[in-house]
């Protein structure tokens, strides 16, 4: 045990080293015992404590980690919750630098304290969020008596400090309040999480880019000590995270005593306030499931508590009784039914979930999407499951089996492959008529989860995914065949009308054909929602007949970039220099670099995605011969996303404008951001051509966002509200 000094003679050592070990101590009280024991066996000398994790920067650390792997469409509120959860579940001891100043008041043998940033030019977790400490014992370091300069108030720069050293040759130059360039952005990130005007991760990243980083890397100051005959002492500011202090002392004036920088004396507070409590966290994660299991076996179900909260002590009234009003509320009631993994398979799945979601403690009945899972993370999750267990589960399976318990049951099936179905029950529960929605080109329904959630838990929502996404089946090449295939699937859930149908982008064309086929067979279609797509025209031609895989991969990359908010560095020039299989591998590697796929993922799903996207964009559609007898509702995005590489829609027409508007690509050699927007000519500016297919006026809604962001946070909330209005009209009638 590190706190056992019984066999060591008193005052036997002049140096004690605790390097990269205190983070594994169970509590700050244990650290105090170790330091007290170390002081008892020392004469004069020092105690070195290395690689200490910073408590004031813990939130900044996890905020930067979570931001790096978050999709652009994730809400800032969800990001904030993830950061808070990571901080609360920290399993290592993380210490406030002020703790080491405070212990000098408890132990008189400590005569000086230095809190040092880590050396190194690389910006990583070690150099940004850890520090070293030197506790001087017996020999008091020299104090600084000269006047301090203030980096910010005096508007100092590296050049200004260099000039001071060169021209004035001060014996000592002391500077405080220096912003640390290595962590200042992460500290500002934490502040921005509380900015109510910033709604999405994409907006958060933009705000960070627009904020100047006027920080100074400590290495720049240490380098000045190499330019001039000075020794540089740097210590972290124990009163404010993200700042440090520096002293330049002429080498000629050095004495054989360490130089300590005067630090602000921290206010008196309990030792527990200077650190987190990893021991309590570990006990909580282990004890609560065991306690709940024991009570479930011992007590009737109605007597088993619904919530468990671990306390270090019960709050008491002045009379010594339990103060019930001071008891804390449960932090996370939605996970009150926590069940720990019960066998090897559930444990393996929990490890995958923990890695993908960044959460340490996950119960087998916790819902993937309730824990912060989203479309991109779900792709990564299923890819890792396939990699580890050798079973290719569709993304639809995750919606239908969103817990570890359910997925484990699925994987225990002895079949080598699972049957493919186009119907994805994103939200199967609810008393209202179900809404069936067809996604855009590529046929992946995952991004529709945002819309389903905002429509409410009482609105059943089903997505229809394309045949071929598994990389094993051939996708359909005609819209009518896709529609027929989908109708068979939805009638397994709802055999008779009235049907509520919708489609986004390419999916709008499929939904329209489904409505026509259902009407022809005698079924009622109550609602047809067209989400940001023009009507099909006789002049439409297949897209990219002569395009190769490289061109299609570039197009798909652009869509992924829009979702991620960062570049994948995929271009025609790079891909055209590779063989077809190498192109897919390169694409896969770029996705792996942004943590969308695990390191050993295969290319089967990527090949399937390319083939489905190509088939959708080239799908043949025979225009209907009959006019649609009921109203079509068109939901149009109001913003334009410009990209000179992939083509754009020109300015959107106003409702009252007349004439013809062409939707074109900026280059004949590039695919459009949406396959619908390449060759169509919109005959009616206000309805995008849909009025020619409807016997009643087309109803139009205008939405915030562009073709992609209208379906993501926060704009999807407006779409959900408008759709709900239309659903309610039918139900009310």
pLDDT digits (tens, 9 = 90+) for 406-423: 888 888 764 444 557 788
Average pLDDT over residues 36-40: 90
Would you state the pLDDT for residue 689? Answer: 86
| CB neighbourhood size of 72 (10 A) | 22
User: Could you give the strand order of the β-sheet that contains 461-464, starting from the edge strand earlier in sequence?
Assistant: 423-427, 461-464, 435-438, 499-504, 525-531, 633-637, 699-703
d(CA 181, CA 183): 6
d(CA 615, CA 609): 10
3-state secondary structure 60-116: HHHHHHHHHCCCCCCEHHHHHHHHHHHHHCCCCCCECCHHHHHHHHHCCCEEEEEEE
d(CA 731, CA 727): 6
3-state secondary structure 272-339: HHHECCHHHHHHHHHHHHHHHHHHHHHCCHHHCCCCCCCCCCCCECCCCCECHHHCCCCCCHHHCCCC
Looking at 3.50.50.60, 1.10.1200.10, 2.30.30.90, 1.20.1560.10, the CATH number of the domain 337-419 comes to: 1.10.1200.10
**Are 500 and 435 in contact, with CB atoms under 8 Å apart?**
yes
pLDDT at residue 659 tops 70: no
**Are 478 and 413 in contact, with CB atoms under 8 Å apart?**
no
What's the pLDDT tens digit per position in 69-110? Answer: 787 777 888 888 888 878 877 889 999 999 998 998 889 899
CA separation, residue 122 to residues 3, 127, 677 (Å): 34, 7, 46
pLDDT at residue 489 tops 90: yes
Would you state the pLDDT for residue 61? Answer: 94
For the chain, how many helices (H) and strands (E)? 22, 17
pLDDT at residue 577 tops 70: yes
User: Could you give the strand order of the β-sheet that contains 110-117, starting from the edge strand earlier in sequence?
Assistant: 13-19, 42-53, 130-137, 110-117
d(CA 605, CA 585): 11
pLDDT at residue 486 tops 90: yes
pLDDT at residue 247 tops 50: yes
pLDDT at residue 516 tops 90: yes
pLDDT at residue 645 tops 50: no
- Under DSSP, the state recorded for 198 is -
d(CA 395, CA 560): 17
User: Could you give the strand order of the β-sheet that contains 172-179, starting from the edge strand earlier in sequence?
Assistant: 148-150, 172-179, 243-250, 230-236
**Are 51 and 130 in contact, with CB atoms under 8 Å apart?**
yes
d(CA 691, CA 683): 9
Would you state the pLDDT for residue 688? Answer: 86
Average pLDDT over residues 4-32: 84
- For the chain, give every domain's residue range: 13-264, 337-419, 549-618
Burial of residue 458, with CB atoms counted within 10 A of its CB: 0-12 exposed, 13-18 middle, 19 or more buried = exposed
The three-state secondary structure class of 45 is strand
d(CA 465, CA 394): 10
Long-range contacts (CB closer than 8 Å, 24 or more residues apart) made by 485-492: 485/422, 486/422, 486/436, 486/438, 486/510, 486/514, 487/514, 487/517, 487/518, 489/421, 489/422, 489/423, 489/464, 490/423, 490/434, 490/436, 490/462, 490/464, 492/423
Average pLDDT over residues 432-446: 88
**Are 69 and 595 in contact, with CB atoms under 8 Å apart?**
yes
Least confident of 133-137, 172-176, 416-420, 710-714: 416-420
d(CA 652, CA 702): 11
CA separation, residue 520 to residues 481, 482, 489, 511 (Å): 15, 16, 18, 14
Residues with Cβ < 8 Å from 699, sequence gap 6 or more? Answer: 631, 632, 633, 634
d(CA 398, CA 406): 9
Looking only at the bridges linking them, the beta strands covering 461-464 and 435-438 are: parallel
d(CA 14, CA 47): 8
Q: To the nearest whole number, what is the mean pLDDT of the chain?
A: 80
Average pLDDT over residues 134-154: 82
**Are 263 and 113 in contact, with CB atoms under 8 Å apart?**
yes
d(CA 172, CA 276): 38
Quote the Cα angle for 189-194-200, to 5°: 75
d(CA 468, CA 466): 6
d(CA 375, CA 662): 33
d(CA 87, CA 90): 5
State residue 535 phi and psi, 5-degree precision: -70, 150
What's the pLDDT tens digit per position in 326-354? Answer: 776 555 444 444 566 766 677 778 878 88
**Are 464 and 489 in contact, with CB atoms under 8 Å apart?**
yes
Burial of residue 9, with CB atoms counted within 10 A of its CB: 0-12 exposed, 13-18 middle, 19 or more buried = exposed
Q: What's the pLDDT band for 597 if we cut at 50, 70, 90?
A: low
pLDDT at residue 365 tops 60: yes
d(CA 506, CA 521): 24
- Under DSSP, the state recorded for 459 is S
**Are 401 and 395 in contact, with CB atoms under 8 Å apart?**
no
Quote the Cα angle for 98-102-103, to 5°: 120
pTM of the entire predicted model: 0.50
**Are 629 and 519 in contact, with CB atoms under 8 Å apart?**
yes
Residues with Cβ < 8 Å from 712, sequence gap 6 or more? Answer: 72, 73, 200, 447, 450, 563, 705
Nearest CA to 467 out of 521, 510, 428, 408 is that of 510
Nearest CA to 475 out of 612, 609, 607, 610 is that of 612
What's the pLDDT tens digit per position in 164-202? Answer: 999 998 988 999 999 999 999 999 999 999 888 888 888
Q: What's the pLDDT band for 323 if we cut at 50, 70, 90?
A: confident
Q: How many residues does the chain have?
A: 733
Q: What's the pLDDT band for 571 if we cut at 50, 70, 90?
A: confident
Least confident of 11-15, 158-162, 243-247, 635-639: 11-15
Average pLDDT over residues 253-265: 53
Q: What's the pLDDT band for 257 if we cut at 50, 70, 90?
A: low
Burial of residue 626, with CB atoms counted within 10 A of its CB: 0-12 exposed, 13-18 middle, 19 or more buried = exposed
- Under DSSP, the state recorded for 635 is E
The three-state secondary structure class of 523 is coil
- Under DSSP, the state recorded for 341 is -
Q: Concatenated DSSP letters for 578-633? A: S-HHHHHHHHHHHHHHTTSS-TT--SHHHHHHHHHHHHHHH-B-PPPSS-B-S--E
What's the pLDDT tens digit per position in 665-691? Answer: 233 333 344 555 433 445 446 788 898
d(CA 461, CA 436): 6
Measured on CA atoms in the order 468, 474, 475, 480, is the torsion positive or negative?
negative
pLDDT at residue 550 tops 70: yes
């Amino acid at each position: 045990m590190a706190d056992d000094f019984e066999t060591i003679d008193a005052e036997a050592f002049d140096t004690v080293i605790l390097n990269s070990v205190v983070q594994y101590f169970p509590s700050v009280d244990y650290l105090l015992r170790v330091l007290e024991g170390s002081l008892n066996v020392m004469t004069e000398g020092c105690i070195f404590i290395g690689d200490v994790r910073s408590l004031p920067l813990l939130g900044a650390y996890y905020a930067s980690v979570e931001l790096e792997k978050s999709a652009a469409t994730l809400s800032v509120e969800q990001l904030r919750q993830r950061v808070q959860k990571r901080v609360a579940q920290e399993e290592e001891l993380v210490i406030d630098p002020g703790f080491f100043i405070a212990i000098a008041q408890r132990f008189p043998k400590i005569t000086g304290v230095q809190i040092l940033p880590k050396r190194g030019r690389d910006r990583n977790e070690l150099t940004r969020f850890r520090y070293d400490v030197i506790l001087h014992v017996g020999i008091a370091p020299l104090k600084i008596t000269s006047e301090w300069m203030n980096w910010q108030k005096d508007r100092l720069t590296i050049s200004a400090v260099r000039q001071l050293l060169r021209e004035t040759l001060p014996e000592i130059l002391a500077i405080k309040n220096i912003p640390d360039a290595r962590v200042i952005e992460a500290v500002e990130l934490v502040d921005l999480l509380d900015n109510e005007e910033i709604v999405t991760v994409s907006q958060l990243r933009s705000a960070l880019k627009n904020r100047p980083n006027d920080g100074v890397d400590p290495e720049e100051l240490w380098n000045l000590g190499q330019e001039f005959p000075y020794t540089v002492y740097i210590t972290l500011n124990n009163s404010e995270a993200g700042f440090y202090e520096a002293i330049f002392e002429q080498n000629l004036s050095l004495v054989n005593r360490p130089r300590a920088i005067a630090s602000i004396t921290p206010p008196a507070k309990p030792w527990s306030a200077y650190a987190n409590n990893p021991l309590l966290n570990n006990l909580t994660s282990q004890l609560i499931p065991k306690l709940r299991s024991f009570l479930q076996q011992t007590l009737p179900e109605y007597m088993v508590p619904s919530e468990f909260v671990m306390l270090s002590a019960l709050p008491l009234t002045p009379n010594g009784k339990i103060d019930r009003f001071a008891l804390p509320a449960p932090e996370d009631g939605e996970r009150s039914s926590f069940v720990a993994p019960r066998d090897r398979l559930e444990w393996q799945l929990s490890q995958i979930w923990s890695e993908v979601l960044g959460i340490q403690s996950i119960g087998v009945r916790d819902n993937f999407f309730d824990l912060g899972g989203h479309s991109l993370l779900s792709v990564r999750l299923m890819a890792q499951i396939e990699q580890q267990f050798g079973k290719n589960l569709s993304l639809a399976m995750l919606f239908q089996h969103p817990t570890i318990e359910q997925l484990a049951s699925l994987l225990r099936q002895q079949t080598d492959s699972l049957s493919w179905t186009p119907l994805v029950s994103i939200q199967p529960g609810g008393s209202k008529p179900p809404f069936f929605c067809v996604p855009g080109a590529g046929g992946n329904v995952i991004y529709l989860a945002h819309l389903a959630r905002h429509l409410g838990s009482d609105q059943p929502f089903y997505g229809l995914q394309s045949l071929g996404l598994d990389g094993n089946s051939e996708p359909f090449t005609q819209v009518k065949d896709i529609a027929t295939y989908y109708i068979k699937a939805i009638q397994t859930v709802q055999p008779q009308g009235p049907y509520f149908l919708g489609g986004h982008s390419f999916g709008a064309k499929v939904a329209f054909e489904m409505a026509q086929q259902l009407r022809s067979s005698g079924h009622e279609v109550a609602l047809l929602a067209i989400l940001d797509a023009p009507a099909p025209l006789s002049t439409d031609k297949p897209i990219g007949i002569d395009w190769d895989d490289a061109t299609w991969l570039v197009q798909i990359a652009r869509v992924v970039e829009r979702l991620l908010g960062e570049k994948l560095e995929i271009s025609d020039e790079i891909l055209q220099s590779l063989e077809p299989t190498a192109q897919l591998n390169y694409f896969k590697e770029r996705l792996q670099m942004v943590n969308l796929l695990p390191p050993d993922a295969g290319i089967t799903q990527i090949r399937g995605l390319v083939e489905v996207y190509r088939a959708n964009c080239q799908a043949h559609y025979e225009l209907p011969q009959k006019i649609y007898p009921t109203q079509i509702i068109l939901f149009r995005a109001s913003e334009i996303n410009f990209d000179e590489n992939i083509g754009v829609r020109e300015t959107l027409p106003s409702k009252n404008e007349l004439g013809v508007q062409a939707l074109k690509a900026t280059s004949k050699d590039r695919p459009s951001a949406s396959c619908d927007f390449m060759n169509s000519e919109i005959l009616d500016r206000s309805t995008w051509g849909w009025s020619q297919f409807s016997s009643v006026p087309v109803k139009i809604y205008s939405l915030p966002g562009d073709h992609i962001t209208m379906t993501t946070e926060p704009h999807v909330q407006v779409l959900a509200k408008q759709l709900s209005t239309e659903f309610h009209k039918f139900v009310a009638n």
